[in-house]
Amino acid sequence: MSPAKIILSMTLLALAPALAQSPVPFYQSADAVSGMYRSHSAPLAGAFAEHAPQLVQALQKHCAGPSALGVARAAWSRTMLAWEGLAAVAVGPLIERRSQRSIDFQPMRPDLLRRMLARAPRTQEDMVRVGAPAKGLPAIEHLLWVDPVSPGTPACTYALLAAQEVQLEAQSLRTVFDTLTRDPPEGEESAKAFAEFINQWLGGLERLRWSGLEKPLREAATRQAAPDFSRAHSGQTRVAWIASWSALRALAVQVNGGSAPVPGLAAAPIETYLRGRGQLALADRWRDRVMQSDAAMQRADPSDARSVEVAAGALKSLNALMQAEVAQALEVSIGFSSSDGD
């Protein structure tokens, strides 16, 4: 399934009614984690691993000539959206491999990129000596939109090599998530993985709120300039926000029309986990807060600063409820670390 279809499915399903009177099982941490790997993380890793080679192929075609810049741009956009969905909740191998840093270091450093381009790397071994701020998806975006690479040039080779690195990491992530699906953590390890999930869900929410929405607005006000939102060069800012938010929302509220997921086979969102533990009133308030955030995110427009401020405020309110009540009800301690994002 394409990232666009995954996002659309998440959007439509999230509008389904709450669990209402449907019976909800009591979920153990192992159930929640194994279900998340099986029905959320692994499929998204698979989508990312499917689209990354298409970006490589599109750049190979463009660099060989004649120019096929539009095809390469479209492939980049699809790959980026698949990545946004997967990276929204950076659990397991995404943390261990520091994939966020290697694939999507932000902000990209144009000066470093220019210096690296001057070295004209030709092989993957050469790319090992290139710093993360000058490669990955942001660098490729720069080379497709800001300073478009021409066929047969060293810069085009650089973009292709950067895309191949993304492809290799995508393949590794799919392999590890598939392994976790077959052999999920158990016992104490599952409890640790569940705590990681809740913390990383909150970390992903904060990345979207602060780095994605609020920080660019504040910096723009200081500079008295237009906000420098991520993905702005490609014109993909809003769809990137929605891709990230859709993945967060899918793990926050029940989205399958009201039936509770089978323990261990499908992701048990935070709302469902609360209901299974008898926290019905809190689950209702949590769902309401998530759907308020959803409405604000659907209206958020990079060209309308006020709509972005409203969305950031809604996400901040959701964060507050998680930290004040939901985490305690889930018996999880909130504690951010360097693993929460680069």
Beta bridge partners of 304: 301
CA distances from 2 to 7, 10, 74, 79 (A): 9, 12, 13, 10
Residue 256: band (very low, low, confident or very high) from pLDDT cuts 50, 70, 90: low
Range 254-259 contact pairs with CB under 8 angstroms and sequence separation of 24 or more:
254/16, 254/18, 254/19, 254/287, 255/10, 255/13, 255/14, 255/16, 256/13, 256/16, 257/13, 257/16, 257/17, 258/16, 258/17, 258/18, 258/19, 258/20, 258/22, 259/22
**What is the tens place of the pLDDT at every residue in 78-130?**
999 999 999 999 999 999 999 999 999 999 999 999 999 999 999 999 999 99
Domains and CATH numbers, the chain: 3-340 (1.20.1420.20)
Residue 98 class from Cβ within 10 Å (0-12 exposed, 13-18 middle, 19+ buried)?
A: middle
**Residue showing tokens 């194994």:** 34
User: Please, what is the average pLDDT of the chain?
Assistant: 91
What is the structure's pLDDT at 337? 45
The full length of the chain comes to: 342
